Chains A and B, each alone.
Chain A
Amino acid sequence: MLERYDFNLLDKIADLSYLPENTAYNIRKNGLSAERKVTETVDITTKTDKPGIDITIKPFAKDETVHIPVIITESGHAETVYNDFYIGEGAVVTIIAGCGIHNSGCDESRHDGVHRFFIGKNAQVKYVEKHYGDGDGTGGKMMNPATKIYMESGSLCEMESVQIRGIDSTKRTTDAVLADNARLVVTERLMTHGEQVAESEMTVELNGSGASAQIISRSVAKDTSSQVFFPNAVGNAACRAHIQCDSILMDNAKIRSVPAITANHPDAQIVHEAAIGRINNDQLLKLMTFGIDEQEAENIIIEGFLK
């Protein structure tokens, strides 16, 4: 059952300070389904062959919202969870996922979420995922999300992932396959500090004519943390893709970006831009001319950059 402290985590990762009244949700805590609600258009069922749930949105459902957050409060709890999303033709839905780990013990807590999205014709999905860790224990907080997205013709998927603090190690893989006129927008925001390690590997295959993808990655690496990005866009049809990776490097952190763009069709237009660097000195000076000290100016710049 959920306790009061759980809502602190739920609020951080899914903006849930209380259980929603009119929308569907499934809240997983320490490997068990703690709360669940289904609606006429959103069904949630527990998988029988492995841990996880199936979320089914009926065709042409309009403006649905589903919360499926996961929290881990038991030190040493490790799990791999398989969630499948079936979005019916023409449905419009916002899915708010996210994982929060509170580890006050000395054992490693780990959540590996394996998500598959089957997005029907002309459906529109907004998927928001936040990762957050806290707790003063010495045990590590690990998250390794793997996401596969299958998009039918004319569908739209906007995926937003945020990992701002507290996760010691993360390896994210995202694969998307786009049919005719499908559009994928991925926004990834990441901040690492201490000795944290983050890796993100993304492959987008644009197989249908008129398909388009926009990948925006913004990250900040502080202290001695390290980040690696492997974005890869493959154009197999007359399509457009734009990958933009911007990173701010601080202290003794390290960032590596290894982009790949592949055009297998003469009308594929694929662009990649990447920049890694320290905070621009003129930006700091500009804010300092407002009477803001250097440290605060740095925070304001990072906050805006990751917004």
Chain B
Amino acid sequence: MLELKNVSFSVSDEVNGRELGIIDNISLTLEEGKFYVITGPNGGGKSTLARLIMGIEKPTAGQILFNDEDITNLSVSERAKKGIGYAFQQPPRFKGMTVRRLLSLAHGHDLPEDECCAYLTKVGLCSMDYLNREVDTSLSGGEVKRIEIATLMAREPQLAIYDEPEAGIDLWSFTMLVESFRMERNSNQKGSTVIISHQERIMQLADELIVVADGKVRTRGSKDEVFPTLLGEFDRKCGLRGNEEVQ
């Protein structure tokens, strides 16, 4: 479904003008109907990878194929029309835009009230209270974040990418969110889902875990293979296991 061929992305360092590599020659294939979780340390390139797939950033080298079509030079909206969707880690707010209107825009046409409510319920929002509220600063960060997730669910894309959906969400809503992702996973056999996450409970849903660090795919495999290696690897990197070993 999605293939990244030797994709690199770098930016110019504003201070010294040197090229700063963010993504380093990643090649990756994602298959139809699978549920992927991308994890790894902060600053490792996970979000950039998602933004490259959505077209928000353009690779400095390499190629991106979606359903065997080269989409490397397509715009964000062209990729969206082809079936790629993305939920922002830090979603923007819109003055004057109601939750219902935003969900309808995501879906592609006017959504009836009951369908809007169903999407909002999936992300743990008491739907009737929110339909006509504006997606502006009157909503908390967690509320905006949940509405963001609901817009991607309402879009029903072939490839859905959620960038740290758990960030800023309270524990109670998080439980509901994990359930919703589980249901999406079970009901959506054709579409694929990619979630960037640090949460074990989300990783447990994955058909495959992909660890991205230092701009590369460090490892990938089933959750049973990869998950046990994660704690050890990153704890060692941060020196957390060092003391234990000495004792």
8 nearest A-B pairs in the assembled complex, by CB-CB distance: A304-B96, A291-B80, A282-B92, A288-B76, A304-B97, A291-B81, A288-B77, A283-B92
Question: Given contacts A288-B76, A289-B80, A291-B77, are A304 and B94 in contact (CB under 8 A)?
Answer: yes
Residues in B62-89 with C-beta less than 8 Å from chain A: 75-77, 80-81, 85-86, 88
Which of A283, A285, A293, A306 meets B94, CB within 8 Å? A283
Instruction: Let me know if A280 is at the binding interface, CB within 8 A.
Output: yes
B28 touches A (CB below 8 Å)? no
Number of interface residues of B (CB under 8 A): 23
User: Which residue on chain A has the smallest CB distance to residue B97?
Assistant: A304
* B145 adjacent to chain A (CB < 8 Å): no
Q: Measured between C-beta atoms, what is the minimum distance from A61 to chain B in Å?
A: 30
- Contact flag A293-B77 (CB < 8 Å), given A282-B88, A286-B91, A287-B105: yes
Residues of B within 8 A of A300 (CB): 97, 105
- How far apart are B116's CB and chain A's nearest CB, in angstroms? 15
Chain A residues with Cβ below 8 Å from B151 are 290
0/1 string, B95-118, CB within 8 A of A gives 1: 111000100011010000000000
Q: Is the CB of B56 within 8 A of A290?
A: no
**In the complex the two chains form, is A291's CB within 8 Å of B108's CB?**
yes
Question: Which of A218, A286, A303 contacts B92, CB < 8 Å?
Answer: A286
Contact of A304 with B88 at beta-carbon distance under 8 Å, contacts A290-B108, A290-B155, A293-B77 already known: no
Check if A286 sits within 8 Å of B75, measured CB to CB.
no
Q: Does any Cβ of B come within 8 Å of A294's Cβ? A: yes
Interface size class of A (residues with CB under 8 A): 20 to 34
Q: Give the Cβ gap from B51 to chain A, nearest Cβ, in Å.
A: 9
The answer, yes or no, to whether A307 is at the interface (CB within 8 Å) is yes
Chain A residue numbers with a CB within 8 Å of B81 are 291
A residues bordering B, Cβ < 8 Å?
Answer: 218, 246, 280, 282-283, 285-294, 297, 300-301, 303-307
B54 on interface, CB distance cutoff 8 Å? yes
Chain B residues with CB below 8 A from A282, complex form: 88, 90-92
6 pairs, A vs B, C-beta closer than 8 Å: A282-B91, A285-B56, A289-B54, A289-B86, A290-B80, A301-B97
B residues adjacent to A (C-beta < 8 A): 54, 56, 75-77, 80-81, 85-86, 88, 90-92, 94-97, 101, 105-106, 108, 151, 155
Identify the interface centre among B54, B81, B91, B97: most chain A CB within 10 Å of its CB. B97
Q: Which residue of B lies closest to A282 (CB)?
A: B92
Contacts of B76 in A (CB 8 A): 285, 288-289
A286 in contact with B88 given A304-B101, A305-B96 (CB within 8 Å): yes
A279 to chain B, nearest CB (A): 10
Bound Cα distance from A204 to B77, whole angstroms: 46
A31 CB to nearest B CB, Å: 37
- B105: min CB distance to chain A, Å: 5
B101 surroundings in chain A (CB, below 8 A): 304
Additional pairs, 14, CB under 8 Å, beyond known A291-B77, A301-B94 = A218-B95, A282-B92, A285-B56, A286-B92, A288-B75, A288-B77, A289-B76, A289-B85, A290-B80, A290-B106, A291-B80, A291-B108, A303-B96, A306-B96
- How many whole Å from A6's CB to the nearest CB in chain B? 31
